[in-house]
Amino acid sequence: SAQSWQELRAGTSQQPATHSSGIPELSYQSTEVADFAAYAFMAWMGVCGFLLFRWCRDYVQFVIHENSSECDCDEWNIEWDSVKTESQVSARIPLHVSQNIGPLLCRMPSGYRVIVPYKLWKSVTASQRRLMLRHELAHFQRGDIWWSLVAHLAAIPHWFNPLAWYTVRRLEQGLEWACDDKTRAFGEQRQTEYASTLLAIGEFGSASIPRCATAINGSQLGGRINRLLSNSATQEKSSSRMLVFS
């Protein structure tokens, strides 16, 4: 009847809105959300993959183009062997000389090596060379290359978060500070000499540091020199805060 038909139409008008295909609108919106989440996940994975690829590419390029040669200067080799003996390091870590790379400790496929730049090494004193070698050897003893690698790998999934990369930079700075603190064992005069050595490195400059290496570099030299010349108590507190934060 006409009345029944009107009642049926009224009941139909109270039903949930549907998409033109007959699927409820709520389900259609859920599909849109799921699609957006899938696209966002793909984009996140793409950036993570790109960052990993770039790291691997840089390492391979460094290995291919690294043109240092094993040191043939008896004086420099004796200094290096002496530093290793003093630190009780028996591992074979050859000293290499390059034109514009270093000083740095790096991990090559064949093993660790320390690379130093020829011009800088020739221009500084034997005592300054030994201080720089102690710094690089401290990186080896602490396993800083691997700590830096783990920090970068942990930050990659959070590539969109600037705090993640800030934390990585702070960690790497803390590693440098920890190795700088080794100089305190040689007295105030030696600390002053090490500060002048850092200045010499900053003036010399160097090629970019690969991700497979740790190096004495010119970054934040002012802060590092101030720490070296400050009193021991202040150094200890600042170093502890840095490591805890990292």
Per residue in 84-101, pLDDT (tens digit) is: 999 899 999 999 999 888
Which pLDDT belongs to residue 8?
46
The average pLDDT across 210-224 equals 61
Average pLDDT value over all residues in the chain: 80
Cα 114 to Cα 107: distance, rounded to the nearest angstrom: 9
More confident residue, 90 or 19: 90
Nearest by Cα to 171 from 146, 156, 157, 151: 151
Which pLDDT belongs to residue 233?
41
Residue 236 pLDDT exceeds 70: no
Using one digit for the tens of pLDDT, what is the confidence trace for 131-187? 999 999 999 999 999 999 999 999 999 999 999 999 999 999 899 888 888 766 655
- DSSP at 210: P
Which pLDDT belongs to residue 243?
47
Residue 221 pLDDT exceeds 50: yes
More confident residue, 41 or 227: 41
Which pLDDT belongs to residue 56?
93
Which pLDDT belongs to residue 200?
84
